[in-house]
Structure 1
Amino acid sequence: MPNLLSRSVFNLFFGARRKALGNLPGPQPGILGTAGDFLGGSPAWDVCARYGREYGGVTLIWMLGNPALVLNDPVLIEQVLDSRRMEFEKGSVSEEIKPATTHHALFIAKQSEDWTAKRRADPFEQPWTGDWLAAQVGPMQAAISQSVEALAGGAPIELTPVLRRLTFDTFAVAAVGEKLPDSVFDDFMLLAKGADARIQAKLPLRFVSLPKGFEAARERFYGHFAERVRKARQAPNPEAADLLARTLRERPGINDEVLAHVIGHVFFGGVFSSSTTLVGAFHQLQKHPEAEQRLAAEAAGLAREKLTLERLRGARWIEAITYESLRLLPAVRIFTRTPSADVKLAGATLPAGSTIMISNQHLHRDPAHWPNPDTFEPTRWLDGGVARDPLGSGHFFPFGRGPRECVGAAFAMVFLRTALATIAARAKVHVDSTEPFEEGFFFGVVLPKGVTGRFVAR
């Protein structure tokens, strides 16, 4: 807690602002407001979860003299992300990642401008998306199998970069029908690093430089998909099942640049979060060998016949592990919003441009809602658990809530279940340490660090 002098200085300059929000609980601000809580070494999601335990569903914090709210209340979160969502825009992250994306990106679109039109036109939102998704299970399984075969029997590896590349390659098969060259992955990573530098910068964005070669990498990355669209126009393949080919068949009038950019954005939308979830899943399975053995048995049964979406959806243990991994170690743990105008929320008026931080970590581990909340227990999702706490509900929203929930959530769920089924059928992922791994932050997503292991062929 700030000392008396520090608190007095804050009140001298910002006392009137503080008094206007005096009905809201929160830590005592000092000269830096309460920003020191986020500079002390603890991840922001841990700080937000602690606020939920200490202050309840709403916490008033101060970034220097600017008020902000941390929400851990399902009702208030539903208002901000759903029923009153038009009063709030995404926070600064939209500006921070903008250089790595294009103006066609749904993620950075403003609700007050063109978000609705972009969401409606997104390939993941079409009437045929379900059929396309079902057709991807086989190709994704084949891509993952190839990656596992290359990894099995080798030396210990760091799981995060390896599973990131496996995820990138599998997304590529679903998006364009085949794995992409190393150069495209390298450009993808350079763009992500540039955006991440802006996300984590302590300075105004105008003072943050992009990495050397960033603009050239951006031109190459999106140009790669533009060239694929051009070739697909010239020589359409009626049998191709990938997203690019299917979109061209279903929407032949779509603008080529729009399609190329949308395909490129698929990778930024899910590669980091999905691979992080896989790392977390295998880390937990190593700590719970009975759960891993049950996964291996179910995966082996699935491998005896052609894997389809219907059979995958019937694999209840794989579903339970996927849900439990997303509950206990969600890849995205903070969502930010900003009021477009002065807004009344939680009984107080929050100024336009203020920051609202929405935490899911506390709610995903709320002991009043979840028995043994800090323990990896996939059984909680059996016998009606998925219906009790569906994706996007009050205590379980790893992809966000409301209409602006991640547009690729359904695809991510199919990928995760396909990956778990495929990997577990072919190898045991032996994680070297079962101690809690260090969690960093990259491109808005939790980044597991130092998690090493080996793929041991079954």
Structure 2
Amino acid sequence: MPNALSRGLFNLFFGARRKAYASLPGPAPGLLGNLGDFLAAPPWDVCARYGRTYGGVTLIWMGPSPALVLNDAALIEEVLETRRLEFEKGNIGEQIRHSTTDDTPFIAKQAEDWSRKHAMDPLAQPWTPAWEAAQVGPLQAAVAESVEALLREPSIDLAPALRKLTFDAFCVATVGEKLPTSVYDDFMLLAAAADARIQAKLPLKFVSPPKGFAAAKERFYGLFAEKLRAARAAPNPHRVDLMSWTLREMPELDDTVHAHLLGGFFFGGVFSSSTTLVGAFHQLQKFPEAEARLAAEAAPLTNAPLTLERLREAPWAEAVAYEALRILPAVRIFLRTPSAETRLAGVTWPAGTMLMISNQHLHRDPSHWTNPEVFDPARWLDGGAEKNPLGSGHFFPFGRGPRACVAGSFAMVYLRTALMTLASQVQVHVDSTEPFEEGFFFGVVLPKGVTAKLRSRTSGNVQSFIRARSSPAAESA
């Protein structure tokens, strides 16, 4: 908390501005407002702490400007759903536009062309669920191949290892094949350039792109343009990757736009999906019974290729994915700004006011969840998932409303497939179950220092667990 002098100086210079917001609770501002809180701890932890301390609405000051932290499910629904046309995503578009492209609906303005761009997105089509279903087998094969390579490593840093594994799997889903490591390197350079702008303390005009940025961007998106030209020249009706499926269903889609959307797919999901997998295996290490149950459920995968139908028969894998998304969501703050003066939480806010929407507190709200700090996948069984569907008041890891992550459904297919495939092949032995350090990269929480060893799974270990679970003693437990 700012000291008395700092609080006094803030009141001296900006005290008159506080009167309009006197009805709202919040921490006392100092000369720099409440910026000190965000410099001392990760912003998602600060927003969650505000929720516990001040309730669903917290007034804060970013220097002399008022801002609002929302931990209230009903108000979040207003901003992200019922009144969504009144709010924009803030400056995220300017921060990442140089690394992505203007064709992605993610950074489109709500009041301008978001609807048009969203309508062109292959991930928002009536046929998208059929494409997702067709990816289960290819994703399984891609993950299995990557695991075989990781098994040769004595120890791995789990976050970058699963990020590359996820990137390779996404390549198979988008263009039907893994791509050279150089493509991944270009992708990471573009992401690092965007991250530098996201985290910049200076005006963006003073943030220079890294060396080789322009060439990397040209190569990255150019590769997808080349793949499209080849696919148009030799169409294959049997290919199930997103590029081929889109060419069949949307042949009129401009190839440049199509290439940009394919490239943007990676920025939208690689970091968040791999972070979720890290969190899942870190928590599974803390709860061996949950890990063993996942292994037992995954064991039959060795008998036949995985399909969406078989995936639906694996409720524990889905529960593990949901619980990882609940307790350690990769994206924990969603930013919005009113595009014009608006009234919210009983107060009138000027256009451009920062609204910080937090899900961490609601995901662990003790008034809603039983033992909210405990990783307990069983909470999602027997109707638990129906009580808290994705995008609902206390569970929105992908956001809420029409502008929630358009690939959220695919992400769930991928997470369940990856969990099942990994668990069928290896035990992921995490070296420490202590809370890991959380950094920040490209708008996503980044686990740091989570090292692990992959141990090849033997069928005997899995079968012994199956027998133990099916014994009369286990059934009566």
1:232: which partner in 2? Answer: 231
Question: How far did 1:153 drift?
Answer: 4.7
Please list the CA deviations of residues 69-112 of structure 1 after superposition, one character each: whole Å capped at 9, or x if unmatched. 00000000000000000010002222111111111011100110
1:85: which partner in 2? Answer: 84
1:18: which partner in 2? Answer: 18
284-293 or 13-22: which moved more? 13-22
1:65: which partner in 2? Answer: 64
2:206: which partner in 1? Answer: 207
Give the whole-Å Cα distance in 1 for the aligned partners of 2:45 and 2:35: 14
Determine if contact 1:302/1:311 at 8 Å carries over to the other structure. no
Determine if contact 1:295/1:424 at 8 Å carries over to the other structure. yes
1:253: which partner in 2? Answer: 252
2:282: which partner in 1? Answer: 283
2:158: which partner in 1? Answer: 159
1:314: which partner in 2? Answer: 313
Determine if contact 1:106/1:115 at 8 Å carries over to the other structure. yes
The correspondence of residues 29-428 of structure 1 with structure 2, limited to 5 A, is 29-40=29-40, 42-428=41-427
* Secondary structure of 1:61's aligned partner: strand
Determine if contact 1:61/1:68 at 8 Å carries over to the other structure. yes
Q: Which amino acid aligns with 2:180?
A: P
1:2: which partner in 2? Answer: 2
Determine if contact 1:26/1:55 at 8 Å carries over to the other structure. yes
Q: Which amino acid aligns with 2:280?
A: A
Determine if contact 1:164/1:272 at 8 Å carries over to the other structure. yes
Question: How far did 1:152 drift?
Answer: 1.7
Question: How far did 1:206 drift?
Answer: 1.1
Question: How far did 1:401 drift?
Answer: 0.2
**Number of residue pairs matched by the alignment:** 457
Question: How far did 1:154 drift?
Answer: 2.7
2:463: which partner in 1? Answer: none
Q: Which amino acid aligns with 1:237?
A: N
Give the whole-Å Cα distance in 1 for the aligned partners of 2:131 and 2:409: 12
Q: Which amino acid aligns with 2:33?
A: G
Give the whole-Å Cα distance in 1 for the aligned partners of 2:56 and 2:366: 14
Q: Which amino acid aligns with 2:30?
A: G
* Secondary structure of 1:397's aligned partner: coil
- Aligned CA RMSD, in angstroms, stands at 0.8
Q: Which amino acid aligns with 1:390?
A: P
Q: Which amino acid aligns with 2:101?
A: T
Q: What is the aligned-residue identity percentage?
A: 70
Please list the CA deviations of residues 195-245 of structure 1 after superposition, one character each: whole Å capped at 9, or x if unmatched. 000111111111111111111111111111111111111111111110000
Question: How far did 1:301 drift?
Answer: 2.3
Determine if contact 1:153/1:456 at 8 Å carries over to the other structure. no
* Secondary structure of 2:105's aligned partner: coil
* Secondary structure of 2:98's aligned partner: helix
1:28: which partner in 2? Answer: 28
Give the whole-Å Cα distance in 1 for the aligned partners of 2:214 and 2:197: 15
Q: Which amino acid aligns with 1:355?
A: M
Determine if contact 1:176/1:245 at 8 Å carries over to the other structure. yes
* Secondary structure of 1:117's aligned partner: helix
Determine if contact 1:152/1:455 at 8 Å carries over to the other structure. yes
Determine if contact 1:27/1:60 at 8 Å carries over to the other structure. yes
Give the whole-Å Cα distance in 2 for the aligned partners of 1:302 and 1:405: 32
353-362 or 125-134: which moved more? 125-134
Question: How far did 1:131 drift?
Answer: 1.1
Unaligned 5+ runs, structure 1: none
Q: Which amino acid aligns with 2:57?
A: V
* Secondary structure of 1:424's aligned partner: helix
Give the whole-Å Cα distance in 2 for the aligned partners of 1:149 and 1:130: 29
* Secondary structure of 2:97's aligned partner: helix
* Secondary structure of 1:401's aligned partner: coil
Give the whole-Å Cα distance in 2 for the aligned partners of 1:313 and 1:336: 34
* Secondary structure of 1:99's aligned partner: coil
Please list the CA deviations of residues 392-451 of structure 1 after superposition, one character each: whole Å capped at 9, or x if unmatched. 000000000001010000000000000000000011011111111100000000000000
* Secondary structure of 2:58's aligned partner: strand
TM-score normalised by L of structure 2: 0.95
2:446: which partner in 1? Answer: 447
203-212 or 148-157: which moved more? 148-157
2:475: which partner in 1? Answer: none
2:470: which partner in 1? Answer: none
Please list the CA deviations of residues 334-376 of structure 1 after superposition, one character each: whole Å capped at 9, or x if unmatched. 0000010111000001111110000000000000001110010
Structure 1 position 435 matched with structure 2 position 434: yes
Give the whole-Å Cα distance in 2 for the aligned partners of 1:71 and 1:279: 27
Question: How far did 1:455 drift?
Answer: 1.1
* Secondary structure of 1:39's aligned partner: helix
Give the whole-Å Cα distance in 2 for the aligned partners of 1:93 and 1:22: 30
Q: Which amino acid aligns with 2:330?
A: A
Q: Which amino acid aligns with 2:201?
A: K
2:472: which partner in 1? Answer: none
Give the whole-Å Cα distance in 2 for the aligned partners of 1:150 and 1:6: 56
Question: How far did 1:126 drift?
Answer: 1.1
TM-score normalised by L of structure 1: 0.99
Give the whole-Å Cα distance in 2 for the aligned partners of 1:424 and 1:259: 35
Determine if contact 1:153/1:454 at 8 Å carries over to the other structure. no
Please list the CA deviations of residues 36-75 of structure 1 after superposition, one character each: whole Å capped at 9, or x if unmatched. 10011x1100000000000000000000000100000000
Give the whole-Å Cα distance in 1 for the aligned partners of 2:282 and 2:427: 12
Give the whole-Å Cα distance in 2 for the aligned partners of 1:124 and 1:374: 34
Give the whole-Å Cα distance in 1 for the aligned partners of 2:363 and 2:4: 36
Give the whole-Å Cα distance in 2 for the aligned partners of 1:247 and 1:91: 31
* Secondary structure of 2:392's aligned partner: coil
Question: How far did 1:168 drift?
Answer: 0.1
